[in-house]
Structure 1
Amino acid sequence: MSQNAQNPDVVIVGGGMAGLAGALALTGNGAKVTLVEQAPEFGEVGAGLQLAPNATGILKRWGLLDQVINIGVTPKHLVFRDAITGEELTRQDVGGDFVEHYGAPYVVVHRSDLHRILLEACRRAGVVLVNDVHVERVETVDNRARVFATGGAVYEADAVIGADGLKSALRRQVAQDEPVSSAYVAYRGAVPVAEIEDVQDLEDVVVYLGPNCHLVQYPLRKGELLNTVAVFESPSFEQGVEQYGDVDELEEAYKDCVPEVRKALTNLGRSIRWPMYDREPIPNWVSGRMVLMGDAAHPVLQYLAQGACQALEDAATLQDLSRGTVFTGHGIDPAAWDGVMKSFNDVRAPRTARVQRTARVWGESWHVDGIGRTLRNMLFRKRGDDFEYTDWLYGENAAR
């Protein structure tokens, strides 16, 4: 190991969006950070990612927003349509006034591109990145945290950040819970626009809402790719089957939808589906000198497009709280971590719990039928082009 890997100020467990963002934020305060990841190499699977102003404002502050915009797309509108009739229900402009109001744009980007940008920024900042490390537990002894890994490796630091995702092993040190199945699964695909006939809506994020299903489409990589995500209630997943060997459920879920939706299903990769989980919010993320962040602390269903956004909020909050306390102009005060972790927990747990619960309710409203669908469509049509419903989520002080 390098000297920094042997004597870090902070060890971060997990090399996804949350872990990389946390590492970048803390090195920005002058911390020596070692990040350990169990995979043999860094990378991110999936397709598109929506970044609202509460996230892009943080990327702007870190000097990364231009890179993200240059490889992504800034859509003009968020559009919701009824998947059975094709009727447009509401349209939100995310251009001029929206950007001015929130101080940052709405951007859609390929998940792997954002991950790469964060990874490269961490390398430039001097984060020590170590692969093939499977962490078993963290212990706190004499105000020092020790990370124990399979094979006998031990990492010691003043603080440990547990960012090991939805199925976090470190979460077991603060809660004996399990991921909660939503009964919904997703198929995803990102295909070249040049290969699609009669392609439309290449400047917008479009969501089709159907009974027990929805479909999302938006452009990626400067409009060269079209990202499609189909989400539906799966009878086999309700019975505990994560991967299902046929696509008959997919076809059945969308059989009554408009031709535009059914045609979009041909853009999906069908070799793998993504079962959708979250967890119940928990009030405490701290165990000794370890604190959770990202999906390890607050996995959220995708309906508000806030998974990565909340991870970035976590990192920025941790950066703010540790600057001037742990990391001061006069050196480092390791003892301050106890107060920082408590403050971080106190600030972030209520915020992310609201996001988690709202995402569940929002998803339920997308998938209703009968009178529920009629009422939902009426409410969507009455929505004005204002910020009444998004200030709590995207606003400047929403995260604190």
Structure 2
Amino acid sequence: MRNDTPPRIAVVGGGLAGLTLALALHRAGLECRVYEQAPQLGEVGAGIQLAPSATRLLHRLGLEPALRSLAVEPAAMEFRRWADSSVISRGLLGVHCEQRYGAPYYALHRADLHRVLVEALPRGTVRLGARCTGVEEDPDGVVLRFADGSEAGADAVVGADGIHSVLRRALVADRPRASGQSVYRGLVESRRVPAVVAEPRVLLWLGPGRHFVCYPVSDGRLVNFVATVPTTGATDESWSGQGRVEDVVAAYDGWCADVTSVIGAADEVSLWALHDRAPIERWSTGRLTLLGDSAHPMLPFLGQGANQAVEDAVALAGCLRDATSGTLPAALERYESMRRPRTTQVQERSRGNSTAFHLPDGDAQRERDARMGTPAPERQDWLYGYDVERSLAAHQPA
């Protein structure tokens, strides 16, 4: 292939990260193919929170009408005490969020976002049943190998295949690290928990050794909840492990009625042992790079995994927009250099919250609550106010 032609990009992984990248590349006029190991497209899990740093980008990709029709725009985010549900802090979202950051804060079902992305892509973009087992890189391109014996070539490949990324192995020999915590996830009908849906909010109850989160999704018809507990038994990282409602009930015995009412309304729960990986010094080679959880898997205690993946996707597409086959290495280096400092900061803060959210009652807990309760609207500016496309403009190649 000539060095001055637009590059062909292969994306391994058809989750939220890979599909967002595919859409951003398509809008940039670049040829892209997504390889997904599952036999059919779909998203597991439950709720997801999208902050303004991500929603502004998804709107620019043309998804605003669909997202506004499916998502809930919470009025506020409240942190509460585990025993009596007293308010520690309340941060305004809703109209305040749009006024301050120019974009909304959404709560929605992961499957809804996944479907919106799939429907926005040209037919044939995604190849299903394609489990990548390895990649071979040379100065002119890459060859992907799949479990069925087939191969595919491209000028560059992006690993968007999650925390157990096959492509990450080409860069670093590390493993997911267990956090010592697991989460139960569930969905309940809003009508069964009227007290927590009287106002659309993201609610977080902090207590000794665990915390509980819930918020409305699916246009307010359902409430998503996430219950964090110390890990016992097996620690495999999975979105789809089966849990038992009675175990969640036992884990939150003695907590306030708001929390126990949501747990009691659940018919089933999934169980997910929490893992992340330490930040790494290099994401990219000349023809290969990583995105989302493949590059920087993080604990969910800042609600930023999907948001950072969306930022990555738009940043990478912007770096590749004007690249040619011959300038791909420089484009991937630019992408990594602008994204790695931010995602490392988010990873570290997410891990830090795994301690801060679970303090036992006492002096440290009271100091945390007092600090959180001090009004400071600007506290989230670094996270919500970030515009990756503005950052791209500031990182123009010399």
Relative to the length of structure 1, the TM-score reads 0.90
CA distance in 2, matches of 1:244, 1:271: 7
Q: 1:8 offset after TM fit, Å? A: 7.8
CA distance in 2, matches of 1:398, 1:390: 16
Q: Are 2:263 and 1:273 equivalent residues in the alignment?
A: no
Root-mean-square deviation (CA), in Å?
2.1
Of 310, 313, 318, 1:312 maps to 310
Q: Are 2:63 and 1:64 equivalent residues in the alignment?
A: yes
Q: Are 2:367 and 1:367 equivalent residues in the alignment?
A: no
Aligned length: 382
Counterpart residue number, 1:31: 30
Contact 2:311 2:388 in 1 (8 A): no
Q: 1:69 offset after TM fit, Å? A: 1.6
CA distance in 1, matches of 2:237, 2:303: 25
Q: 1:323 offset after TM fit, Å? A: 2.1
1:190-220 deviations in Å (ceiling 9; x for gaps): 2222344655444111111111111111111
Counterpart residue number, 1:336: 327
Q: Secondary structure at the match of 1:286?
A: coil
Counterpart residue number, 2:12: 13
| Counterpart amino acid of residue 371 in structure 2 | L
Contact 2:52 2:104 in 1 (8 A): yes
1:20-74 deviations in Å (ceiling 9; x for gaps): 0111111111111111100001110111100000010101111102211211101
Q: Are 2:221 and 1:224 equivalent residues in the alignment?
A: yes
Q: 1:177 offset after TM fit, Å? A: 0.6
Of 204, 207, 216, 2:204 maps to 207
Q: Secondary structure at the match of 1:281?
A: coil
Change (3 A) 1:398 1:272: same
Higher mean C-alpha deviation, range 137-146 or range 189-198: 189-198
Counterpart residue number, 1:322: 320
1:112-143 deviations in Å (ceiling 9; x for gaps): 000111111123xx552101111111111232
Of 367, 374, 386, 1:396 maps to 386
What are the equivalent positions in structure 2 for 1:11-160 lying under 5 Å apart?
A: 11-123=10-122, 128-160=125-157
CA distance in 2, matches of 1:127, 1:385: 47
CA distance in 2, matches of 1:269, 1:187: 12
Counterpart residue number, 1:329: none
Contact 1:73 1:107 in 2 (8 A): yes
Q: 1:162 offset after TM fit, Å? A: 0.7
Counterpart residue number, 1:377: 369
Counterpart residue number, 1:353: 344
Change (3 A) 1:245 1:115: closer
Q: Secondary structure at the match of 1:282?
A: coil
| Counterpart amino acid of residue 254 in structure 2 | D
Counting aligned pairs with the same residue, the percent is: 35
Q: Secondary structure at the match of 1:62?
A: helix
Contact 2:51 2:105 in 1 (8 A): yes
| Counterpart amino acid of residue 185 in structure 2 | R
| Counterpart amino acid of residue 394 in structure 1 | Y
Gaps of 5+ in 1: 1-6, 327-332
Contact 2:243 2:271 in 1 (8 A): no
| Counterpart amino acid of residue 22 in structure 1 | L
CA distance in 2, matches of 1:271, 1:98: 31
Contact 1:184 1:237 in 2 (8 A): no
Q: 1:150 offset after TM fit, Å? A: 1.6
Higher mean C-alpha deviation, range 31-40 or range 219-228: 219-228
| Counterpart amino acid of residue 340 in structure 2 | A
CA distance in 2, matches of 1:127, 1:308: 24
Change (3 A) 1:398 1:341: closer
CA distance in 1, matches of 2:201, 2:143: 47
Q: 1:249 offset after TM fit, Å? A: 4.8
Contact 1:212 1:253 in 2 (8 A): no
| Counterpart amino acid of residue 367 in structure 2 | L
Change (3 A) 1:221 1:245: closer
Contact 1:18 1:312 in 2 (8 A): yes
Gaps of 5+ in 2: 1-5, 392-398
